[in-house]
Structure 1
C-alpha cells in the first residue's frame, strides 16, 4: 500500500461522500482566537483532502490554499472563489517564507513527520501568525444503545487502525519551531446518521483502506458493517457521539 493511505483509487470519492462536514463549527471557534478583527489575508490548509476544511477557512481568510499529498483527493475538491489547491506534502511546502497568516491542519497531524512538518509550518507563517490543529473522531457511542460498544470493539478488532503517530505537540517540539501554544480546548458534537451514512463514514477511513491492502474489497467491508449494525439502526437514523480537540499556536 502507498505510504499515504488515501492515495489510492476511489479513496477521494469515498471520502467526499462519507466524511461528516463539521468543519464550519470548529472554524467559527477558531476565528475568535485568530481573526477577531475580521478576515485575514492568506491561509494555508494542509492535508486538505477533498476540501471540506478549505471551504470552511474562507470564513477567516480572503485567500485560502489547500494542499494534499494525494492528487486524487484534490481532484475531488470543489473550485470556489478565493480558494486554490496544490499537490504537496506537509513536510515540503512549495511556498515562500512568511507567506501566510494562518496555517491549518484538520484530522491529519498523525500522518506527518512531526519535526519536519513543524519546521515547514513555522517557515511559511508570518511572525505573529497562527498554526491551528484540530481533530474530531467517533467516540464509539450511539445514544440509547449501550450494547453498541461491544460492536465497536469487534469492528476495531476486525479492522484495526494502521500505524500512525500519536500524542499532542509537546512544548519542546513547538519551541524548536518558534511556536507557542496560545489556546487549547475540547469539544463534542452529536451526528445523526442512517445506517448507510454510517457505512459510508467507516469505509472512508484508513482502517478500511488498510483492509483492502490485506485482500478484502470495499464491497465486502461495507457488507459486513451493514449487516452487523442492522439491529442497532432498525431502519431509523441514530445519534452517534463525536469529540475533538483544538490547538492554537502563535508564531514568534
Structure 2
C-alpha cells in the first residue's frame, strides 16, 4: 500500500491541508502527564506526530513511504522521523511509554504489526489506536453528504484499505488488553476554500490524477464548481466521526 502514498503532491496535501483532528481525538484518550518517549506508527506527513508533542518529552514518527516525510521539519519541528514499517519497528523492547497509530493499522499485516507495537511498549505504557472518517457530513443538512457521494464516484478510492474495529485487536494479539474505547465526533467550521483544499488532498484524488497535471487542474475546477452550491458564501460545520481505543500490555 505504500505505493499509493509515494506522492509528492499527496505529501504536501497531508502536511498542510488536512483538518486539525488528531489532537482532539488524543485528548479524548485522557492521557495525563508527560511520557518519556512516544512513537507514532504510520505517521504520514507528520501531523499526527506533531499532536504528540505536548504528551511526550521525545517524539518519533515512523512511516513506510519516504515521500510522505518531505515536510516533516515544518509540520513537526523537534520530532524525529524514520522510514520503517509497522511490521519491523527498529527500536529496542519496552522503549516507549506511549505508542499511537492514527488510521495506519488498516494497511498492515496485523499478525506482525501488533506484536511489534506491543514489544516496543513499556510495561506500564499505553497504546492508542484511533481514526476518523472522511469529511462527508455537515451539521447543517445533507448537502455535503450528497456531494461526497458524487466526489467518490468521480474519484474512486484505491485498493488496499480495509475496515478495522480496534476492539477486535486483542483477539489478534492476546498480549494487548483493551482499556477503553470511545466514539467521538469532531465538529470543525470550514469555508468552501478550506474544505476544497482538504478534498483535493484526499488519496482518491491523488490516485486518480497522479502524473497528469491537466487532470489535477480539472479535479480542482470540478471541486470548486460543485462545492460552490454546497457552501454558498458561508461556512459549514463539518463533522468527523472518530474513535479512540486505548490498550495496555496484558502480560
Superposed CA deviations along residues 145-173 of structure 1, whole A, max 9, x for unmatched, are 43333222221122222221212142311
Q: Secondary structure at the match of 2:123?
A: strand
Contact 1:145–1:232 (8 Å) recurs in 2: no
Contact 1:111–1:165 (8 Å) recurs in 2: yes
1:220 is aligned to: 218
Contact 1:184–1:248 (8 Å) recurs in 2: yes
Q: Secondary structure at the match of 2:233?
A: coil
Contact 1:140–1:241 (8 Å) recurs in 2: yes
Counterpart check, 1:125 vs 2:124: no
Contact 2:25–2:242 (8 Å) recurs in 1: no
In 1, the alpha carbon distance for the partners of 2:22 and 2:229 equals 30
**TM-score using structure 1 length:** 0.88
Structure 2: which 5+ residue stretches go unaligned? none
1:60 is aligned to: 55
Q: Secondary structure at the match of 1:120?
A: helix
Counterpart check, 1:138 vs 2:134: yes
**TM-score using structure 2 length:** 0.89
Superposed CA deviations along residues 98-128 of structure 1, whole A, max 9, x for unmatched, are 1111110112222222221102111111223
Contact 1:182–1:250 (8 Å) recurs in 2: yes
2:36 is aligned to: 41
2:27 is aligned to: 28
Counterpart check, 1:204 vs 2:179: no
Structure 1: which 5+ residue stretches go unaligned? none
In 1, the alpha carbon distance for the partners of 2:112 and 2:65 equals 19
In 2, the alpha carbon distance for the partners of 1:151 and 1:84 equals 39
Q: CA deviation at 1:139?
A: 5.2
Q: Secondary structure at the match of 1:228?
A: helix
Counterpart check, 1:7 vs 2:6: yes
2:162 is aligned to: 165
Q: Secondary structure at the match of 1:119?
A: helix
More helix by share: 2
Q: CA deviation at 1:82?
A: 5.0
Counterpart check, 1:17 vs 2:16: yes
Q: How many residues align?
A: 245
In 2, the alpha carbon distance for the partners of 1:88 and 1:99 equals 16
